[in-house]
Structure 1
């Protein structure tokens, strides 16, 4: 191995990550083992390198600015082995890292390297979990079937991106995009300058008890009505939350039921996933109706995660009362309105499926 090289181990040595940096090198073996780090590169700890029995696979490469920029964003520090710096290890929290995370790590890495080079690494690191959630949504979208009814063929060549930049980034982000697209007459549109609100995908859940015909909804303060000028800034909503990087939407719904309402969900029914405001927002919803025993549940307040500033109250209503509130205009949360109508249509079928199981 020649001077100027470093050794990458664990997640950094995955072929998908080497491809991001266009790096290749010589395989090496180091003594010890890597433990933890399941969420390395997507917002969690990196594996811990523990000396001792066993071998750790790595690769010796010549670092370039892109790799060093990535390491700075991740806040990693090297250890020395045979005179070379070894990168790719950290505190080792969580489950063990596995190669099935490499594709998501690589997608996130590409997003990080596309950010302005003068943006401080520490600022990027603070929003890494959200960047990873958005990247995870993009990977899911690539695997899901595109709608086709009454629509033009789903063909990337129908849209020409001329410029794209992140104009604002914190918890959410705003992108400015210049583009033109094919028109229905076969020609091209003029150049369009647009802004899009970028956020991670979300899972939504309406708990339902077929035995008692009760539903559970939540209420909390919302900034949207305040910004619009509405006096009432608390809303009735379904349970909802962002889908963590690497998490299945249905697992996110179950997790949020625990965090926001303290209940366990049994069988789960998926409603059609959708964009609530596709004209200006990339947000994508995965709604579910989840079966739960609400017979002994009591409505109350104090739910949610304190570190996220959540102050959530739960409400248990007859299904007919939920629909009455929808029709009376007492519910202004669009997804809850759609979920209430879906449940009204499907309640008998849900009950029938339970009777036959």
Structure 2
């Protein structure tokens, strides 16, 4: 083991705990700038000498620390106090201490589930890993259904091993576990794979004045892999919840990216797992008021860097419901959104808030 100085985000108590480090504070005069995405896919803060103090600590190296530094591709900065780790180019907004908890969750995921991957491969996937890690506190502190179910109790499940067996655009983990049966006994040890994905926000824009909706279409790999001839799907606007981003903000951001649309008031539907038997993905669906009078069916939307080629379709609400009920919509979440809107459209039209929502109203009522 060697003595190392960690500064800025690396010196946060949450990070020190994950990296197995403890040590003594170091007096490091100066300031940090940028680096809001440090450890979750963005740049690390840069260091500027001068007035102020930057949190720093002198620690003995650990295998976890050395692996993490290798994955992050960090290099030490030579200063009068010695070589200091934790600084980079400083791009983006300033790093804030509240980012440390998500950094630590992401670091833990890297250190425990990606041991066989090269540092370069993990670094390329860092944004995706952070998005999945960000779902952990939402799952832990979100709703825990109990009606007709056993009480939520971690002691009812014994996870014997857990490892990532594939990591790319998505991730697949293999778990070995046993669980309490309904008769009170224990199950046999089970081996199961889980498709790991970030949480997602889904959005159906609705114009109460015109009684119209906007949906999108794009190619989908699932139907293609299954062998279906029609691989373009009518869908709601949707996107992954970025690390540290509220689902409501995701819905608004995706409306702009996938439809060039500014939305107003958000009406949340029940949050849910679309396929809990094998998929960790969790949905936050919304209907939102929008002024569709200046929009027409078209194409050319989406983020080019993500390979998106999206078309928008504006149609009467009644047609959407008909398509959902006659099987012309095969995207389950859009069926749910269509039927929910069919039940609540009158209430939305009578909501006194919706005219103001066209000017970009608050999230009141969400």
**TM-score, structure 2 length as denominator?**
0.94
Matched length: 355
Q: What is the CA deviation profile of residues 126-171 of structure 1, one whole-angstrom value per residue up to 9, with x for unaligned ones?
A: 1111110111011111111200110001001111112222111111
- Consecutive unaligned residues of structure 1, counting only runs of 5 or more, are none
Q: 1:286 is matched with which residue?
A: 284
Taking the aligned partners of 2:27 and 2:300, their CA distance within structure 1 comes to 52
1:270 aligns with 2:268: yes
Taking the aligned partners of 2:115 and 2:138, their CA distance within structure 1 comes to 28
Taking the aligned partners of 1:135 and 1:347, their CA distance within structure 2 comes to 36
Taking the aligned partners of 1:294 and 1:224, their CA distance within structure 2 comes to 30
Q: 2:360 is matched with which residue?
A: none
Q: 1:151 is matched with which residue?
A: 149
Q: 1:48 is matched with which residue?
A: 46
1:5 aligns with 2:40: no
1:185 aligns with 2:180: no
Q: 2:331 is matched with which residue?
A: 333
1:35 aligns with 2:33: yes
Taking the aligned partners of 2:109 and 2:194, their CA distance within structure 1 comes to 17
Aligned pair partner of 1:174 in 154, 172, 175 = 172
How far did residue 275 of structure 1 move? 0.5
Q: 1:107 is matched with which residue?
A: 105
Q: What is the CA deviation profile of residues 62-92 of structure 1, one whole-angstrom value per residue up to 9, with x for unaligned ones?
A: 1112101101111111111236210111111
CA contact under 8 A between 1:203 and 1:287: conserved in structure 2?
Answer: yes
Taking the aligned partners of 1:304 and 1:150, their CA distance within structure 2 comes to 42
Taking the aligned partners of 1:117 and 1:327, their CA distance within structure 2 comes to 47
Taking the aligned partners of 1:141 and 1:226, their CA distance within structure 2 comes to 31
* Alignment root-mean-square deviation, CA: 1.4
Aligned in 2, Cα 1:52/1:235: closer, same or farther, shift over 3 Å? same
CA contact under 8 A between 1:5 and 1:84: conserved in structure 2?
Answer: no
Q: 2:69 is matched with which residue?
A: 71
Taking the aligned partners of 1:54 and 1:193, their CA distance within structure 2 comes to 53
Q: 2:313 is matched with which residue?
A: 315
Taking the aligned partners of 1:191 and 1:77, their CA distance within structure 2 comes to 44
Aligned pair partner of 1:248 in 246, 249, 254 = 246
Taking the aligned partners of 1:179 and 1:49, their CA distance within structure 2 comes to 46
291-300 or 54-63, which moves further after superposition?
Answer: 54-63
Q: What is the CA deviation profile of residues 13-69 of structure 1, one whole-angstrom value per residue up to 9, with x for unaligned ones?
A: 111111112222121222321001111111111111122333222111111121011
**TM-score, structure 1 length as denominator?**
0.96
How far did residue 263 of structure 1 move? 0.5
Q: 2:363 is matched with which residue?
A: none
Taking the aligned partners of 1:52 and 1:299, their CA distance within structure 2 comes to 56
1:98 aligns with 2:113: no
CA contact under 8 A between 2:114 and 2:122: conserved in structure 1?
Answer: no
Q: 1:127 is matched with which residue?
A: 125
- Consecutive unaligned residues of structure 2, counting only runs of 5 or more, are 357-366
203-212 or 45-54, which moves further after superposition?
Answer: 45-54
Paired residue secondary structure (2:94): coil
CA contact under 8 A between 1:35 and 1:96: conserved in structure 2?
Answer: yes
